Amino acid sequence: MSRIGKRILEVPTGVTVTVEEGIVKVAGSKGTLELKLHEGLTVSVEEGKLSVNCDKEDKQSKSMYGTTNALISNMITGVSKGYEKGLEIIGVGYRFQIKGKELVVSAGYSNPVIVKIPENITLESPSNTELFIRGIDKQKVGQFAAELR
């Protein structure tokens, strides 16, 4: 069995974890996230401790055991602290500019590149060449940063 799957997760104060009909809901001060469980897994929450249990012995359930534990851990961190990625653009005339729900990137093309900002993602640009991407979903923050790169 997976060592990551076996670990017991601590649920910090201010974060609530509920499991209903195969869906884990994690709510905290920054927002709410949901995860649909694989059919061979169950999650138990008792007195601020969370554990993932593998009910079936098939290959798919075993492979999702550690993954589910890591995803729930990321959800707990996201709703309590959040995630942040920082980008810096280097070049003459290169810059980031936030206009409402869009990010305008001037990166040496003949026209500026306009990128829509996804839901639940916030951007901050302390200078023209720096950009901070923040959100509660680790996957969405990382995906948006990768697409901008």
Locate tokens 């999650």: which residue? 43
Distance CA 62, CA 95 (A): 46
pLDDT at 97: 93
Block means of pLDDT (10 residues each) for the chain, length 149 residues?
Answer: 82 93 94 93 91 87 90 95 95 92 91 94 94 96 95
Task: Compute the radius of gyration of the chain from its Cα atoms.
Answer: 19
Distance CA 19, CA 52 (A): 11
pLDDT at 1: 58
Host H or E run for residue 87: strand 83-88
Distance CA 36, CA 52 (A): 13
